[in-house]
Every structure is written in structure tokens, then in C-alpha cells.
Amino acid sequence: MTAEILERIRTEVMTLAEGERAELAHDLIASLDDPRDSGVEDAWDREILHRISLIDSGQAKLLDREDFRQKMRARYKDQ
């Protein structure tokens, strides 16, 4: 693709509505990750469901944002 064609595409894309540009950007970024490994997606789905079940059952210890920030600051302060 020539620089001229790429610039024409950019110009045309910028005339799209914000939502349309966001959808296009998402599709373009997703295309960089292909080919998808369905095994990985399935593993993540199982992990997410597992973590949700831990939260729902009260087994997970949740932190509010400020506690989390304090822990992260303390962790990286010494590095």
C-alpha cells in the first residue's frame, strides 16, 4: 500500500462518527491478534467464572481502590 492510499484511508476514516471509528479501531486491533487460540479463550472464561464464584461465595478477599493503591505504592516504593 502506498503512503498516498494510506493517507486517503485515514482522511476518510476521520469523517466517521466516533462510535464507528471506535468499532473500526477495535476490529483493526483484534485483527493483529489473529489467529486466535480457542483454548486460551476457554481457559480465561473458566478462570473468570471461577473468580466470580469465589466472590459470590465470600471466599475471595476484596480490596477497595484506596487499599489497593496503598499496597501497590508500598510494593513499588522499595524497588
Q: Could you give the number of structural domains in the chain?
A: 1
Range(s) of the domain holding residue 34: 3-77
Q: Which pLDDT band holds residue 32 (cuts at 50, 70, 90)?
A: confident
Average pLDDT over residues 10-33: 92
pTM score > 0.75 for this model?
no
Distance, in Å, from the CA atom of 6 to the CA atom of 31, rounded to the nearest integer, reads: 17
% of the chain residues with pLDDT over 90: 72
> For every residue of 6-20, which 3-state class applies, written as one string?
HHHHHHHHCCCCHHH
Q: Measure Cα distances from 34 to 5, 8, 20 in Å.
A: 24, 26, 22
Distance, in Å, from the CA atom of 53 to the CA atom of 47, rounded to the nearest integer, reads: 10
Q: Which pLDDT band holds residue 34 (cuts at 50, 70, 90)?
A: low
